[in-house]
Amino acid sequence: MITGDFFAWWGSQLSDLVPESLSRSLQRARTTVTLRIEGEIATFCGPGDANTVSCELPTTDQTEQPAALREFLGALPSAPQRLRVILEPDQFLVRHFSLPRAARPHLAEAVGYQLPKLTPFTTDRVLYACGTMPDSPSNGPLSVWLMTTPKDRIVQALTLIGQTAPQNPMRLDTPPEAGKPLELAWRVTEPRKSPRRRLRLAWIGMLALWIGAMGLHVFKRLEVHEQLTQTLAKVREEASEVTELRERLLDSRSQIDWLAEHKRSTPSAIVFLDSLAQLLDDQTWLQRLDFDGRSLRLTGISQSPSALVETLETSSSFEDVRFDAFSRDRRTQADRFNLSAKVEPPAREDG
């Protein structure tokens, strides 16, 4: 973008901030061309309505500008700087409807999406303006007004003087009153050149505004950067705490899993003693019992030790049952034995 284009764009942005009353007074000094369309006839009026010409709207294959229009444009003080279109009540349409309050920041776009539902035309075939009603409630849905007019004939008329239709949406403060004509106006060229001093002051003012905007932008960037730095430090600190908590959680889960596995793989002493008491007969007396959770050692006296071994082997709780020592007690005529066996853990249930 070259310097001239930048300042032209900046001037157009500043002009939107000028109050409407002051803007209208300034626009009177510009070369304004007024357009009225009645049927297939377009009427153009210059400043003061002294210079007026009428002609038929062009057809699609017409490319030559009528001689009357060339004379009309040549009689103007300068090239048209502002266009004004006046439409009769039967040439435009006004609608009132409601929109959600969330549509306020992007009202023009939201209304543009609703155009095919409210009118028989799409957005590219009409010129439209919209706004909120003065009596729109402060809470709840927005009361919105919409003005639309087909732009085909307006485009045809503007083509005769080498101009194009404006972009949607049009600037319109309030909808036209019932039965009143509608006036649409927009600027088509840059204002006349100011005197050298005014131009110099305008350049200085725009440069000062540009520097101020750049300074404000840099300040905002630095402020946002500082906030993001603080947020990042806080997030990193919280992330380290989360990592530590996660490691502690994993350690706790490992301990819980080990305890659960140890519990499943180790037979209960109470269950073991109950099972052993049911297996011993009335002719067997235990003098010593050693149990460490995996193996069993029995010392005692029995009238039939071999039957005791067979009984233990039939149980699913013991395996590898064998005598470690065996002797005859002459006093009681019974057999002394030292017996060992491996204890099987309880079977794990499905689910």
Residue 132 has pLDDT above 60, yes or no: yes
Q: Within this chain, do residues 289 and 238 fall inside the same structural domain, yes or no?
A: no
327's CB contacts (< 8 A; 6+ apart) are 335, 336, 337
How does residue 351 score in pLDDT terms, banded at 50, 70 and 90?
Answer: very low
Residue 21 has pLDDT above 60, yes or no: no
Residues in the chain: 351
Tell which phi-psi region holds residue 48, choosing left (phi > 0), alpha (psi between -120 and 50) or beta. Answer: left
Q: Within this chain, do residues 93 and 178 fall inside the same structural domain, yes or no?
A: yes
Residues 73-91 have pLDDT tens digits of: 888 888 888 898 999 988 9
For residue 73, being part of any structural domain is answered with yes
Q: Within this chain, do residues 141 and 49 fall inside the same structural domain, yes or no?
A: yes
Mean pLDDT across the chain: 80
Q: Are 188 and 82 in contact (CB under 8 A)?
A: yes
CATH code at position 93? 3.30.420
Report pLDDT for 285: 76
| 10-19, 63-72, 320-329, range with greatest mean pLDDT | 63-72
Q: Within this chain, do residues 242 and 339 fall inside the same structural domain, yes or no?
A: no
Say which range, 61-70, 235-244, 251-260, has the weakest mean pLDDT.
61-70
Q: Within this chain, do residues 273 and 311 fall inside the same structural domain, yes or no?
A: yes
Query: Once rounded to an integer, what is the mean pLDDT over residues 31-52?
Result: 85
Q: Are 34 and 81 in contact (CB under 8 A)?
A: no
Number of domains in the chain: 4
Say which range, 60-64, 83-87, 125-129, 277-281, has the weakest mean pLDDT.
60-64
Q: Show which of 234, 264, 294 is a domain's final residue.
A: 264
Q: Are 163 and 188 in contact (CB under 8 A)?
A: yes
Which residue range forms the structural domain that includes residue 12? Answer: 1-29
Q: Within this chain, do residues 49 and 108 fall inside the same structural domain, yes or no?
A: yes
Report pLDDT for 59: 73
Q: Show which of 139, 170, 192 is a domain's final residue.
A: 192
Q: Within this chain, do residues 181 and 103 fall inside the same structural domain, yes or no?
A: yes
Residues 145-157 have pLDDT tens digits of: 999 999 888 988 8
What 3-state class would DSSP assign to 304?
coil
For residue 351, being part of any structural domain is answered with no
For residue 277, being part of any structural domain is answered with yes
For residue 350, being part of any structural domain is answered with no
Which H or E element spans position 339?
A: strand 334-343
For 258, the token pair is 């080990």
Q: Within this chain, do residues 38 and 141 fall inside the same structural domain, yes or no?
A: yes
Q: Show which of 157, 192, 227 is a domain's final residue.
A: 192
Report pLDDT for 26: 52
For residue 170, being part of any structural domain is answered with yes
Q: Within this chain, do residues 22 and 53 fall inside the same structural domain, yes or no?
A: no
Residue 23 has pLDDT above 60, yes or no: no
CA distance 252 to 45: 89
Q: Within this chain, do residues 122 and 167 fall inside the same structural domain, yes or no?
A: yes
For residue 349, being part of any structural domain is answered with no
For residue 348, being part of any structural domain is answered with no
Tell which phi-psi region holds residue 292, choosing left (phi > 0), alpha (psi between -120 and 50) or beta. Answer: alpha
Residue 231 has pLDDT above 50, yes or no: yes
Q: Within this chain, do residues 185 and 36 fall inside the same structural domain, yes or no?
A: yes
| C-alpha distances in Å from residue 29, one per residue of 8, 9, 125 | 19, 21, 32
Q: Within this chain, do residues 48 and 148 fall inside the same structural domain, yes or no?
A: yes
One DSSP character per residue, 230-298 reads: HHHHHHHHHHHHHHHHHHHHHHHHHHHHHHHHHHHHS--HHHHHHHHHHHS-TTEEEEEEEE-SSEEEE
Residues 301-350 have pLDDT tens digits of: 887 777 777 777 777 777 777 777 777 777 777 788 888 888 776 555 54
CATH code at position 303? 3.30.1360
For residue 338, being part of any structural domain is answered with yes
| CA dihedral of residues 211, 217, 219, 223 (deg, nearest 10) | 180
